[in-house]
Amino acid sequence: MSNSLTLAPAPRSDAAEQVRAEVREFLAAELAAGTFRTHVDTWLSGVDPEFSRKLGERGWLGMTWPKKYGGHERTAMERYAVTEELLAAGAPVAAHWIADRQSGPNLLRYGTEKQREEILPRIARGECYFVIGMSEPDSGSDLASIRTKATRNESGDWVVNGAKVWTSNAHESHYGIVLVRTSPADPASRHAGLSQLLIDLSLPGITVNPIRILDGGHHFNEVVFEDVVVPGDMLLGTEGDGWHQVTAELAFERSGPERFLSTYPLLAEFGRRVADTGDSAQLVALGRLSARALALRQMSLRIAAALDRGELPNIPAALVKDVGTTFEADVIDEVRRVVDVTPSLDSPDPLARALAEAQLHQPGFTLRGGTNEILRGIVARGLGLR
């Protein structure tokens, strides 16, 4: 098989297993104290700044970053163990998730020294949250078609006009890394003329309008920019290099365990049910789902190990996200085929609640961060077909 799709097996990491045990102990104590309740898909819906600060205090944010920026210089394998435990417990991690996962690494790679010194330590403390400014009302999968525009004024600052959508938790966040057009669109070179700006969301001219998802939850927003003046030194990386930078960011966005564990709390409830009933069909379903989950863990661990080797495995990440998000949705279908339970957000039965939450969030799994059709196109490129 094409080498661009395969990664070496991840070595076992004792350090990762040690921090895993610490996180597990922390989560058990927090659950016992009632500081959070388990929910499905909490990396989108579980905003809890207090919880994020607790993780920061324990050194579980910015884990792989240099110490001089507030990081902890630990491995991607250790970070993997921490994020995986938080997701499996359905803990409220949405506030800091984007900043810790991709905005911080993006700043490390492309930010100025001043930006790194000011912002990264705040992210690592769990106090500073980011949004992704990529999609627009008329640009979903076709990201190169974005129209949000930034032009230089006479003082050398950027004036931004346009709108971004699906910006998760913009109403609770401090900054956005926003992809903008800094040169007119060139049909001959669609990826040229794009740049990334680091934008303080409290600037005048920015309006955040809620967009409610199927369960009524307010996570998504439309962020409108009207003559927003962004200081000239807030260009991230190189002018005109935005497409390349976004692509590098996507390796982080697409590669983590949140791409197969969004519905794990439902699988956990299903496991409790099967342990009670011992039902044969339910055991088979649990076994089949568990085999898929175990394979996905190994795939995702291989990506963490590749990140530790300094690689940016975009194509394997796209493949894992395709397989993983399909699994997230399949958990719902497989469970309801073998358990007679009516999904309900109000039910006293935790399985019925988890099923309801998962079902109402399900359409997002295979859309966010690149639709599965786009991902399969990337995999096809990895196979040498395009």
Partner 1 sequence: MASDQDLVVETVRDILTGFEPFVLTAERRWDSGLWSALADAGLTGVGLPESAGGSGGELADAVAIVRTLAAGSAAVPVAEQLLVAGPAVIAAGLPLPPVEEPLTFAVADAVTASPAGEAFTLSGTASDVPWAGAARHAALLLPGPALALVDLSGVAAGAAFNLAGEPRGSLALDGVPALVQPLTEGQASELRAGYALARSVQLAAALERVLDWTVQYAGERHQFGRPLGKFQAIQMELAEMAGEVVAVTAVVDAAVQALAHDSADVVLAAAAAKVRAGAAVEVVARLAHQVHGAIGFTQEHKLHHLTRRLWSWRDEAGSELVWSKVLAKGLLADGGDGLWPALTRVV
Residues that bind partner 1 (CB under 8 A): 1-3, 5-6, 8-9, 20, 24, 84, 88, 264, 267-268, 271-276, 280, 283-288, 290-299, 302, 316, 319-320, 322-323, 326, 373, 375-377, 379-380, 382-386
For residue 65, how many C-alpha atoms fall within 13 Å in the half-sphere facing its CB? 29
Give the nearest distance from C-beta 325 to partner 1 in angstroms: 11
Q: Most distant CA pair in the chain: distance in Å?
A: 73
Q: Name all contacts of 279-285 with Cβ < 8 Å and 24+ positions apart.
A: 279/338, 281/338, 282/338, 282/339, 284/338, 285/334, 285/335, 285/337, 285/338
Sequence-distant (≥ 6) Cβ neighbours of residue 217 within 8 angstroms:
45
Q: Are 61 and 52 in contact (CB under 8 A)?
A: yes
CB nearer to partner 1: pick between 291 and 345: 291
β-bridge mates for residue 221, sequence order: 210
Give the nearest distance from C-beta 345 to partner 1 in angstroms: 22
CB nearer to partner 1: pick between 22 and 157: 22
CB nearer to partner 1: pick between 211 and 294: 294
CB nearer to partner 1: pick between 322 and 357: 322
Give the nearest distance from C-beta 323 to partner 1 in angstroms: 4
Residues 224, 148: Cα–Cα separation, whole Å:
10
CB nearer to partner 1: pick between 29 and 275: 275
Q: β-strand 149-152 against 206-212: which pairing, if any?
A: unpaired
Q: Are 149 and 181 in contact (CB under 8 A)?
A: yes
Residues 380, 386: Cα–Cα separation, whole Å:
7
Sequence-distant (≥ 6) Cβ neighbours of residue 242 within 8 angstroms:
179, 180, 182, 194, 195, 196
Give the nearest distance from C-beta 324 to partner 1 in angstroms: 9
3-state secondary structure 259-305: HCCCCHHHHHHHHHHHHHHCCHHHHHHHHHHHHHHHHHHHHHHHHHH
CB nearer to partner 1: pick between 63 and 274: 274
CB nearer to partner 1: pick between 29 and 380: 380
β-bridge mates for residue 220, sequence order: 211
CB nearer to partner 1: pick between 7 and 178: 7
CB nearer to partner 1: pick between 294 and 345: 294
Give the nearest distance from C-beta 338 to partner 1 in angstroms: 11
Give the nearest distance from C-beta 264 to partner 1 in angstroms: 8
3-state secondary structure 322-352: HHHHHHHHHHHHHHHHHCCCCCCCCCCCHHH
Give the nearest distance from C-beta 269 to partner 1 in angstroms: 9
β-bridge mates for residue 196, sequence order: 179, 236
Give the nearest distance from C-beta 334 to partner 1 in angstroms: 11
Residues 357, 331: Cα–Cα separation, whole Å:
12
